[in-house]
């Protein structure tokens, strides 16, 4: 195992206090990434902030505290990002957060802190994270660009269709004509749906164009299940 190996993890940030120290472009990018990941309690602490951060504060999407950092600022935080333009201050923030047992990331030194932020490709429910563990951020950016080309916007609708099918199949009130034990049959159909290259497209097309009702979606899902069932026999 290489030294400094990382454990990949996805965090649910809804309701968690996330503190970003710094108000420049780096802090702006880190804040945007938190919001994109569903964080709804983001606090930015800096004497000066970018125009974009100021607008986010005015809209109520984040809270802004315009003053210098104080150790007490990270108390009760779930996650801290040190994103100032002062590497010594970032190191201090990392040290103080670590002493409090708070997950912390340093924007100036990827080897500091308890977590790193990967390059991310998002397509709805599909989230692809890429990191080179600090070996080459530029190569991580290159891989991100390649994955963005490989996994286009249609994957958001494909995953949405798969989610609806899964909910339908696992609904305890949903009954099927099954030749085998229900649980194993449902799991087999879910695996078949995941590898089905075309079956999801009717449902995804309805979702993409937003021209549907709940009964329409149910009919489309049941048609897909029926096709999967027939091909599975």
Shared domain for 2 and 69, answered yes or no, is: yes
Check pLDDT > 70 for residue 180.
Answer: no
Read off the CATH number of the domain in which 41 is found: 3.40.50.720
Shared domain for 109 and 206, answered yes or no, is: no
Shared domain for 111 and 175, answered yes or no, is: no
* Domain stops at, among 117, 143, 163: 117
Shared domain for 177 and 108, answered yes or no, is: no
Shared domain for 64 and 19, answered yes or no, is: yes
Across all residues in the chain, what is the average pLDDT? 92
State residue 162's pLDDT score: 96
State residue 231's pLDDT score: 82
Shared domain for 169 and 188, answered yes or no, is: yes
Shared domain for 126 and 158, answered yes or no, is: no
- Domain with 22 in it: 1-117
* Domain stops at, among 109, 133, 151: 151
Give 112-169 pLDDT, tens digit per residue. 899 999 999 999 999 999 999 888 889 999 999 999 999 999 999 999 999 999 999 9
Check pLDDT > 80 for residue 211.
Answer: no
pLDDT grade, residue 3 (50/70/90)?
Answer: low
Shared domain for 92 and 178, answered yes or no, is: no
Give 90-116 pLDDT, tens digit per residue. 999 999 999 999 999 999 877 789 999
Q: What total number of domains does the chain contain?
A: 3
Shared domain for 193 and 221, answered yes or no, is: yes
What letters, b where the CB count within 10 A reaches 16 and e where it falls short, cover 62-96?
A: bebbeeebeeebbeebebbbbbbeeeebbbbbbeb
Check pLDDT > 80 for residue 182.
Answer: no
Shared domain for 1 and 112, answered yes or no, is: yes
State residue 199's pLDDT score: 92
Shared domain for 163 and 97, answered yes or no, is: no
State residue 62's pLDDT score: 98
Shared domain for 53 and 18, answered yes or no, is: yes
What letters, b where the CB count within 10 A reaches 16 and e where it falls short, cover 13-36?
A: beebbbbbbbbbebbbebbeebee
Give 8-46 pLDDT, tens digit per residue. 999 999 999 999 999 999 999 999 999 999 999 999 999
């Amino acid at each position: 195992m290489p030294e400094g190996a990382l454990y990949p993890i996805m965090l649910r940030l809804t309701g968690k206090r996330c503190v970003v120290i710094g108000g420049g472009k780096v802090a702006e990018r880190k804040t945007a990434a938190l919001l994109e990941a569903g964080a709804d309690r983001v606090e930015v602490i800096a004497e000066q902030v970018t125009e974009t951060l100021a607008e986010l504060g005015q809209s109520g999407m984040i809270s802004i505290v315009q003053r210098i950092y104080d150790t007490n600022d990270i108390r009760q935080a779930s996650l801290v990002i040190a994103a100032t333009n002062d590497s010594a201050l970032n190191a201090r923030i990392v040290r103080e957060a670590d002493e409090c047992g708070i997950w912390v990331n340093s924007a100036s030194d990827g080897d500091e802190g308890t977590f790193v932020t990967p390059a991310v490709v998002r397509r709805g429910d599909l989230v692809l994270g890429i990191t080179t563990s600090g070996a080459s951020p530029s190569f991580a950016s290159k891989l991100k660009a390649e994955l963005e080309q490989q996994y286009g916007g249609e994957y958001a609708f494909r995953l949405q269709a798969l989610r609806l099918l899964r909910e339908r199949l696992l609904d305890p009130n949903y009954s099927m004509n099954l030749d085998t034990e229900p649980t194993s049959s449902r799991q087999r159909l879910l695996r078949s749906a995941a590898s089905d290259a075309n079956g999801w497209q009717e449902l995804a097309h309805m979702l993409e164009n937003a021209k549907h009702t709940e009964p329409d979606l149910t009919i489309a899902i049941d048609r897909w299940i029926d096709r999967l069932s027939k091909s599975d026999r």
